Copies of this chain bind each other. A is one copy, B any other.
Amino acid sequence: MDAMTRIERSLSAALGLAQTADGPPLLAAAMRYAVFPGGARIRPRLCMAVARACAEDKPTLSAGVAASIEILHCASLVHDDLPCFDDAATRRGRPSVHKAFGERIAVLTGDALIVLAMQALARASETAPTRLGPLILVVARAVGAPNGIIAGQAWECEPKISLAKYQQAKTGALFAAATAAGACAAGHDAGAWHLLGERIGEAYQIADDIRDVVSNEHELGKPTGRDLALDRPNAVNRMGLGVAVERLEDLVRSAIEAIPKCPGAHDLRAHILAEASRLLPRELARPAA
């Protein structure tokens, strides 16, 4: 079974934990709407690629961990889109959760998805219970305060932003968790795997900045030019398109160099290069080094 199919099945199984006939129907529908159909599932595919590179011995656990990371990503999108933050009307080419279900259900959907992600980790770890603690800690660090996604969003509320900390927390942290948790799911030590994820996250952040400036709304599935409109930091607006594309290519190279020693390093390298080639809008893409 290919990685994408395993991820979608694992996501379905996780969502199933939250959805029974006796729960409130709108919340259940909104949780499903926030997760399906997904985007490129970049983080869970990276997580699974690392687990495979570490010779995964518990495939159900790897897929469960990957699903948890994607669920946390979806939760962050739902809350980022809220009226008090980005006030985004669309996401993935259709109404955002608060536009489709109302603001109250959107707040609760984000909350419930965070809880579900942790529950899915606990379920997936039942055959390897000693891996659960390290997994929860890796994931919580990537999501909570002081350095995870939520902290990244909180930097937007500060009078003075540290751009590096903001981007590392807002984007880098969950990529770092994807690689670290992938290793952890395969029984490897998480520590050596953070750097790879951080560099991929940085590359992804720059690619996202480039798409925000260069793409059109139809291609991207969400409004473009938002960074300029909302006065948010954007690498292209800061350093120009040419320099931003070079920086992206540098980061992909340094990510490859950061792959720790592992049985499947060769395939992991190929996975990262293939992903990198999809990061840029078609008209800017060049063969990766």
Contacts and interface: CB of A to CB of B under 8 A. Distances in A.
B111 A147 contact: no
B23 A147 contact: yes
A247 interface: no
B165 A140 contact: no
Contacts of A123: 137
A95 interface: no
Contact of A145 (B84, B112, B132): B112
Nearest to A21: B146
A151 B27 contact: yes
Contacts of A165: 22
Interface string A21-56: 011111110010000000000000000000000000
A143 to B, nearest CB: 5
Interface of A: 18-20, 22-28, 31, 75, 79, 82, 84-85, 102-105, 107-108, 110-112, 114-116, 118-119, 121-123, 125-126, 129-130, 132-133, 136-137, 140-141, 143-148, 150-151, 153-158, 165
